[in-house]
Structure 1
Amino acid sequence: MRSFIVFRTLLILILSILSEGAFFPTQAFSNDSNIAAEIRSLLEGNETQISVAGNPSPIHSRSTLLTFYFERAFLPGWSEALQPTCKARELLYLIRQAGFDGLVPEDYHLESLNTLFDKDMEGKSLAERELALLDILLSDAFLTYAHHLYKGKVHPEHLNGIWDIQTKQTEPSVLGRLNRALSGNHVKEELHSLRPKLLVYERMRLSMKKYHGMEKAYEDKNWIPLSIEESLKVTQRNEHVPHIREKLIFWKDLESYPVIAEQRDFYDSTMAEGVKKFQLRNGLQPDGILGRATIEALNQRPRQLMDKLAVNMERLRWLPDTTLQEFILVNIANYSLDLIRERDTLLHSKVIVGKSYRKTPVFNATMSYLVFSPTWTLPPTILKNDALPAIRKNINYLAQKNMKVIDHSGQEINPNSVDWQQMNGDNFPYLIRQSPGPQNSLGLVKFMFPNKYSVYIHDTPSRELFYREDRALSSGCIRIEKPFELAQLLLKDQPLWSDERIRSAMNGKKEQIVRLDRKIPVIILYLTFWTDSNHRENIRRDIYDRDIELLKLLRTPLIASVVGDKN
């Protein structure tokens, strides 16, 4: 093993000399050669981790570090004249700030680095081996932190559920960035440039800092979790009203106002406005009624919201760095759809998404056509689990739902000729298709973006469901509250499609396919926290219970060689 490493060292060293982009320090201090020997000894050894004051630190990018130090003849990059450089101290500061990106500073050797820097701050000289350790730890921390900022710490494929939005295809050379950071004074710039380019990400960092500052103040309040037996409405009295009022003021959903002693437990209209504001931020019906969901949201602590922020900042790091002029964004956890063009929201609509056991997947695709007055061919899952059991109980179910039985050539089959008691999803030889009309489960129009999940956006006859707070009610597809308005905007550039013609096509007796004059990206996301352009924090319930799993992986310490030596 050691002979192979020595051979590889020699080979890479020769190649680096011959290569045009090889990097060598222009100056070397007298002690640097001794430190270089220590660095080489540490990296060429068999250990997967190095120890500082008895604290083992796993090396995450060992192979990449070997390449980096080979190209600089193993000379240190983070110390001069036996002292850490200003760039070293800057990187330490950035590591300590990693929590504001929802990351874990300890993943970047914080404890070991603190030990070494504390010794230096106490005026004690670091030994050459300690300086070698410091150099390796800082370089490894830079590479690991850079990777996490650019692509995230957790890969989506390690999670339950479907996340099928293509991640960033190419990763910038972090070795190049490390060399530039060390050759100039650009440590902060090189790292920060790897964060997502989305404006919402920077706003979420500010929210993280805000909650971090609020955490101590919240703990000092010694608040206990609230609970009420019955919903509380305006003009009612309850012993918890003073506590609720305090929390609303703490979260800045309510400004402090004078309340006389006799009215402290009285739920007044001023306080109700603060409740509505809080409910709106938390995706709840802003009715001013203090029910179970509102009280549960009020019981959240800053630390819990920081965890929620961390999870969603990680999800943003998974997204590709692309700027879209026009796209449709569906946020599953927010039950919402937005049509965005040149950063302006042209349409905001409520949606209904998949039930907890028929979850809407996270993915992206391209919308290319609409279908007015659609028919609906029942998919296998719904056929097996819903339709066939209903037909076995009552064959009139088909007529009531305006459904026909057809064979695979499209010929209609008399339902009385089928032995329904023997039919299940595996042996049923036909298809069941629902005709266009007001009862059609797809409503009056569907919006098609072909994908392997057979998920699309469509109208629904069950309009009353949009008034519910919990709208995880579909079999996976996305039902939209404003189908006409969406069709109107998508066809705006096609003069033949007037409002009157759109309405007529939606109420036709036959399907009508209309191709769009452009392809529109559709992005289906799952975000339970984001900070909007007004710097208002929006908090949503984790309807598919995905936050806890991702948070656990984010908080799990890294092991050696997990970052990947591809850089």
Structure 2
Amino acid sequence: MAVCAAVLGYTTLATPVLLATPALFLATPVFAQVTAFKQAVAEAASDDKDIASFYQSNGYTPIWTGASDEDRARRGELLRAIEGAGAHGLPAAQYDADGLLAMLAAARTPRDRGLAEVEMTRVFLNYARDIQTGVLVPSRIDRLIVRDVDYRDRSSYLTGLSGEKPAKYFRSLPPRSLEYNALLKEKMLMEALLQRGGWGPVVPSGKLEPGNQGNAVILLRNRLIAMEYMERSSTVTYDAEITEAVRTFQEAHGLNPDGVVGAATLDQINISVEKRLQSVMVALERERWFNTDRGKRHILVNIPDFTAKVIDDGKITFQTRSVVGAASDDRPTPEFSDVMEFMVVNPSWYVPRSIVTKEYLPALQRNRNAVSHILVTDRNGRTVNRGAVNFNSYSARTFPFSMRQPPSNTNALGLVKFMFPNKYNIYLHDTPSKSLFAKDVRAFSHGCVRLADPFDFAYVLLAKQTDDPEGTFKRALNSGQESRINLVDPVPVHLIYRTAVTNARGHTEYRADVYGRDARIWDALAKAGVVLNGVQG
């Protein structure tokens, strides 16, 4: 929809009379028109304290419907912005550009203009907050999306707009990150692909590997060609070219690149363009929630990617595989940000109360010598003699003891844990269960994040504060005693959840929605009015 030039033009809104015969108000004193406008603004803004306060402070001066070039520029930029809201994955219908234009075109009295003035302000504030910090409230979608969104004071949008060139101000509202811009480009690509019909027929279930022949191999070949993982080919055999294309596909989707189409690879190959586009739309919303300074150096844990990365000046300087919380019960890893302050070498594992009461107490009630590698302790941390305790006399609510595993090579936390103290009791740590890092899907923990290369991770962190990071760490390790090493410069830690993410080459990669969170976010976005462009009706 093109912005209506008649409404935006100086000839219609340059006077207090909008789209009306000028003679109609020649007999009406100017002060009466001004008073009618102010009264209309005050009345229309009365149910919104931020809008009411703004107009009270500026003497009820219009910022949209006045006669000045600045007013004309502001209303023009607002209408252009809400017309293009769908390109950002926003619910464009909520801003109702057509309705706003119609309201402006029908304004024939100072009162009409005052009502239009406030309505434009309402629309602006809704749009500004949506595009800057998201349409949805994260915790309302999933209780473990506990990210603190950096919501701006609504009045700051109005003062900011009034003191800035309108075009520049509107350009400043969306996230400025490279990731957001890359996702916008991917959205356009996916929409165009969706309009063309997608990637063609899916590949039937069943394992496919080098040497296979038949219709399933042909469908696999065609889908890989459509996805641009291999050049056009007429092969009917799972040959070296298809094998290499499958490996490339697997690498781009966080899977083990073995060149064999197993269940996990097949699931990802058969996901439709429409579902991928939904992932991009959700990622845009998540990027708006995360529209804040992440730190010159920071740690980024992408839960469905099963990785932990150290980012310095926007570049990945270290990366390791991770294991995250299992998808069942209360074990998924939450999403939030905090600051890593120290590491503990040779840590004790203080067993969380939920594990003590749900898992270990029932085992102790069956056999007092169960989980014998873990100590039962009193409130002062002293070891309790199991033989003196009748475990069956306690319930999960009344059990008065704690449990602790002393430092060792078999400690559940391994030999080091990295602490960013938080109310969710989540941290990064080593693990003796190294075999899990070879799996495609690595969701097995009770919520904390296990690292495949914890020592190297420690060296990277310590390199900023010592010339001998490995020596510093190993001296603490070789002591065999639990010890703490503070980080001189604490490092922000961000636990995020992205199933669509841009790699270092600028290409979008996709991951499985391991907790189903993105599906719930998409459902909420759709209910809010976000639509997929390119869907064929």
Please, what TM-score do these two structures have when normalized by structure 2?
A: 0.82
Match of 1:378 among 339, 342, 351: 351
* Cα offset, 1:452, TM superposition: 1.0
Aligned counterpart in structure 1 of residue 495 of structure 2, from 524, 543, 548 = 524
The number of residues matched between the two structures is 499
Letter in 1 for 2:157: V
Pick from 137, 146, 150 the counterpart of residue 164 of structure 1. Answer: 146
C-alpha contact (below 8 Å) 1:377/1:432 kept by paired residues: yes
Cα deviations by residue, 1:284-341 (Å, 9 ceiling, x for unpaired): 2222222233222223333322221121211221225225121111111211111122
Residue 28 of structure 1 corresponds to: 14
Secondary structure at the residue paired with 1:398?
coil
The residue number in structure 2 matching 1:538 is 509
**Contact 1:61–1:144 under 8 Å retained in 2:** no
What do residues 429-478 of structure 1 show as CA deviations (whole Å, max 9, x unaligned)?
32222121111101011111111111111100000011111211111111
Aligned counterpart, 1:339: 310
Equivalent in 170, 175, 182 of residue 196 of structure 1: 175
Q: Please state whether the residue corresponding to 1:308 is helix, strand or coil.
A: helix
Counterpart pick for 2:156 among 152, 158, 173? 173
Secondary structure at the residue paired with 1:410? coil
| Counterpart residue number, 2:232 | 257
Deviation at 1:64, TM superposition (A): 7.8
1:428 lines up with 2:399 in the alignment: yes
Matching residue's letter, 1:76: T
Query: What aligned pairs does 1:2-401 form with structure 2 within 5 A after superposition?
Result: 28-29=14-15, 31-32=17-18, 63=52, 71-72=60-61, 76-77=65-66, 91-112=78-99, 126-129=105-108, 139-168=121-150, 170-171=152-153, 173-179=156-162, 186-187=166-167, 189-218=168-197, 223-228=200-205, 230-254=206-230, 256-259=231-234, 263=235, 265-322=236-293, 324-356=295-327, 357=329, 358-399=331-372
Cα distance, 1:308–1:129 mapped onto 2, change above 3 Å: farther
The match for 1:489 is 460
In 2: Cα distance, 1:329 partner to 1:503 partner: 25
Q: Is the 8 A contact 2:302 2:498 kept in 1?
A: yes
Aligned equivalents of 1:374, 1:245: Cα separation in 2: 50
**How far apart, CA to CA, are the structure 2 residues paired with 1:495 and 1:28?**
66
Q: 1 CA distance for matches of 2:366 and 2:251?
A: 44
Distance 1:102 1:444 in 2: 45
Deviation at 1:30, TM superposition (A): 7.0
Contact 2:77 2:170 in 1 (8 A): no
Quote the Cα distance in structure 2 between the aligned partners of 1:346 and 1:75: 48
Letter in 2 for 1:71: Y
Partner of 1:564: none
Return the offset for 1:236: 0.5
Question: Which letter does structure 2 place at the counterpart of 1:175?
Answer: L
Query: What SS does the aligned partner of 1:173 have?
Result: helix
DSSP-derived class of the 2:266 partner: helix
How much does 1:258 deviate? 3.4
Which deviates more, 383-392 or 62-71?
62-71
Counterpart CA distance in 1 for 2:152 and 2:189 is 33
Q: Would the aligned equivalents of 1:43 and 1:62 in 2 still touch at CA under 8 Å?
A: no
Alignment of 1:405-484 (within 5 A): 405-484=376-455
Q: 1:501 to 1:31 in 2, by over 3 A?
A: closer
1:90 CA displacement: 5.5
- Report the CA distance shift for 1:366/1:139 in structure 2 as closer, same or farther (over 3 A): closer
**Equivalent AA in structure 2 for residue 477 of structure 1:** C
SS at match of 2:126: helix
Distance 1:502 1:136, change over 3 A: closer
Deviation larger for 340-349 or 479-488: 340-349
* C-alpha separation in 1, matches of 2:420 and 2:500: 26
1:127 Cα deviation after fit: 4.7
Q: Deviations over 1:192-237 (max 9, x none)?
A: 2011232211111111111122111125x7x344331x21001211
Contact 1:445 1:483 in 2 (8 A): yes
Q: Per-residue deviation at 1:176?
A: 3.3
- 1:122 — aligned with what? none
Q: Aligned partners of 2:316 and 2:304: how far apart in 1? A: 19
How far, CA to CA, are the matches of 1:46 and 1:197 in structure 2?
A: 34
Gapped runs of 5+ residues in structure 1?
Answer: 1-24, 50-58, 118-125, 559-567
Q: Say whether the 8 Å CA contact 2:55–2:61 is kept in structure 1.
A: no
User: Kindly tell me: are residues 87 and 240 of structure 1, through their superposed partners in 2, closer, same or farther at Cα, counting changes over 3 Å?
Assistant: farther
Name the CA distance, whole Å, in 2 between partners of 1:479 and 1:268.
Answer: 37
Q: Which moved more, 1:147-156 or 1:549-558?
A: 549-558
Amino acid at match of 2:176: K
Farther off after superposition, 456-465 or 149-158: 149-158
Identity %: 27
**Does the Cα contact within 8 Å between 1:312 and 1:527 map onto a contact in 2?**
yes
Match of 1:121? none
**Aligned CA distance change for structure 1 residues 67 and 104 (closer, same or farther; 3 Å):** farther
Q: Decide whether the 8 Å contact of 2:64 with 2:75 is kept in 1.
A: no
C-alpha displacement of 1:479: 0.8
CA contact (8 A) 1:91 1:142 kept: yes
Alpha-carbon distance, 1:257 to partner: 3.0
2:489 & 2:498 partners in 1: Cα distance?
A: 27
**Rounded Cα–Cα distance in structure 1 between residues aligned with 2:98 and 2:53:** 22
Q: Is the 8 A contact 2:19 2:108 kept in 1?
A: no
Any gaps of 5 or more consecutive residues in structure 2?
A: 1-10, 22-32, 530-537
